[in-house]
Structure 1
Amino acid sequence: MNTCRKHMHLDTFSAKPPDSSSLEIRWFFSKPVPELNTFIREGFPSKPVSETRTDLYYPIPGREDLSLKIREGKQELKKRRLQGTPLHFNGSQAGYLEIWDKWVLPTELEERRYPDPISLRKQRWALKIAPSDTGAWTARPYATYLTQGIQVEYTALSWRDRAYFTFGLDGFGDIGQAALLNFLALLPPCPELTLDQSSGYPYWIARL
C-alpha cells in the first residue's frame, strides 16, 4: 500500500466522530528540566506514581497532524484539527496550543500498513487537575475518572539509548484556553518553555 492510500485510509476513519478530544500544549527537551520535574512530583498534596511503558509510534511522512501509535496493546489515532496557535504566559514563556481528536482503532486497521515504528520507552509522572467552584485547582491521581480537567505530565523518554524529556498539559471536557492559562500561571520560571521547543509528538518524532 502506497503512502497516499495510507493517508486516505486514516483520513477516512478520522472523518467519524472522535472518541475524545483534548486541548494540548507540549514541549520536548534534550536534557532534564528539574524545575518541571519537581513541579509535578512535589508541587501538590497528591503525589504522582511513576509509570513505565513502551509506546510504538508509526511516523506518517508529511503529516504532522496525524499520530498513529500502539499503547498497551491498543491502536490509537490522533488528528490535529488546526495548526497550533502560539500561547504566551508568565511573561517570556510560550507554547503552541493544539486541539487533537482521538480514536481507538478497530483491529482491522493493522500496524503492518505502517512499517518502521519508533519505539519510545517512557517513564511518566502524571496527575489530573480538577477545577473547583472557587477557581482553585485540586490534584488527583492519574487513574481518577474526571469529566473535565487538565492532565499534566513530565515524562523521561528513551529512544536508541538516547534520552529526551517532555512536559505537557491536556485539557479535556469543557476545559478551554482561559482555564489552561490559569493553570500555566502556576508553572515555575523555566527558560526551556519556548515556542522553539513546543510541538506535538508527530512533529518531534519526524525530527529524531
Structure 2
Amino acid sequence: MLTTIELRWFYPSQIPIEIEEWFPQNCSPEKREDFYLYVPQCDYLGIKLRQERLEVKWRKAELGVLRFGELIEGKAEKWGKWICNDSTGESFQPAMVFANSVWVNVQKVRRLQSYKILPDSSIQAVAINESIDNGCSMEITQLRIQEQTWWSLALEAVGEYTHLQENLHLMASCVFNNYRGIKLIAANSYAYPHWLDLILGNYS
C-alpha cells in the first residue's frame, strides 16, 4: 500500500494559457482513458480502472487548508492507494464496464513532472521513470467527462511516512514561488470522488 498527501484543484473549461506556460515545458502530454466507479455522496473512496489495472484509493485524513502566497490555497488530504495488476489480461477489462452506468468514462490529457527532495531540503526535477524515495510530483490534466471540459492541477507527495507533509510543503513553496496564474482557492480543492459527485449528481 502506498500513502500519499495530495493537493488538487478542479476548474471547468480549458487549461488557462498562463498556467500552461507556467507548468514545466519539458513534460510530454500523455493521453489516457480511465473508468471510475461512481459512488454517490462518497468523497473518501475512489475506484478506477485503466486497462488491466484496478486502483483503489481511500482518504485516511483531511489535513486542513494550506496557503502558499496570495494566490494559492488548497485542502491537503492523506490517501492510501492499493493497485492490482492482472498480468493475464483476463480481468479488469474496460470493455466489461462499457454498458454499466455506474462506471464513468473520463478522458485525460496529462502532463507530469516529478521531483526528489535532496538532503539539503532543495528539490530537483527527475525523469518520469526515475524512482523516488522522498519527493513530490506535480501534474496538470485536461479532462473530458459527460461532454464537459474541465482541468485539474495537483501535487502529490510520496516517500517516508514521517516526511510526507514536509515534502509537500517544500515542493509547493518552491513551484508556486513563480506562479502567476488564476487564484487557486480551497472551494475548488478536492479529490476525484468529490469531483465526480459534483458532475454526476446533476444527472441522478
CA distance, structure 2, for counterparts of residue 115 and residue 160 of structure 1: 12
| Change in 2 beyond 3 A, CA 1:62/1:84 | farther
> Contact 1:86 / 1:195 at 8 angstroms: preserved in 2?
yes
CA distance, structure 2, for counterparts of residue 200 and residue 94 of structure 1: 15
- Where do 1:82-121 residues align within 5 Å? 82-105=61-84, 115-121=101-107
CA distance, structure 2, for counterparts of residue 64 and residue 101 of structure 1: 14
Instruction: Provide the secondary structure at the position in 2 that maps to 1:207.
Output: helix
Partner deviation per Cα, 1:159-199 (whole Å, 9 max, x = no partner)? 23321100001100124223322322232033331101100
1:192 aligns with 2:183: yes
In the TM superposition, residue 34 of structure 1 has moved relative to its aligned partner by 2.7
CA distance, structure 1, for counterparts of residue 21 and residue 115 of structure 2: 16
- Where do 1:13-162 residues align within 5 Å? 19-31=1-13, 32-42=15-25, 47-105=26-84, 115-162=101-148
> Contact 2:9 / 2:154 at 8 angstroms: preserved in 1?
yes
CA distance, structure 1, for counterparts of residue 42 and residue 84 of structure 2: 18
- How many residues end up aligned between the 2 structures? 185
In the TM superposition, residue 74 of structure 1 has moved relative to its aligned partner by 0.5
In the TM superposition, residue 116 of structure 1 has moved relative to its aligned partner by 2.2
1:183 aligns with 2:171: yes
> Contact 2:71 / 2:183 at 8 angstroms: preserved in 1?
no
In the TM superposition, residue 201 of structure 1 has moved relative to its aligned partner by 0.4
List runs of 5+ in structure 1 lacking aligned partners. Answer: 1-18
Corresponding residue for 1:207? 198
> Contact 1:58 / 1:115 at 8 angstroms: preserved in 2?
no
- Higher fraction of strand: 2
CA distance, structure 2, for counterparts of residue 84 and residue 64 of structure 1: 15
Instruction: Provide the secondary structure at the position in 1 that maps to 2:56.
Output: strand
Corresponding residue for 1:12? none
Partner deviation per Cα, 1:16-55 (whole Å, 9 max, x = no partner)? xxx211110000111323333223233xxxx212111100
Runs of 4+ aligned residues of structure 1 deviating over 6 Å after TM superposition are 106-112
Aligned-pair Cα RMSD in Å: 2.2
> Contact 2:134 / 2:167 at 8 angstroms: preserved in 1?
no
29-38 vs 124-133, which deviates more?
A: 29-38
| Change in 2 beyond 3 A, CA 1:156/1:88 | same
List runs of 5+ in structure 2 lacking aligned partners. Answer: 200-204
Instruction: Provide the secondary structure at the position in 2 that maps to 1:192.
Output: coil
Corresponding residue for 2:202? none
CA distance, structure 1, for counterparts of residue 40 and residue 164 of structure 2: 31
CA distance, structure 1, for counterparts of residue 23 and residue 84 of structure 2: 31
Q: Identity, % of aligned pairs?
A: 21
> Contact 1:40 / 1:126 at 8 angstroms: preserved in 2?
no
Normalised TM-score (structure 1): 0.80
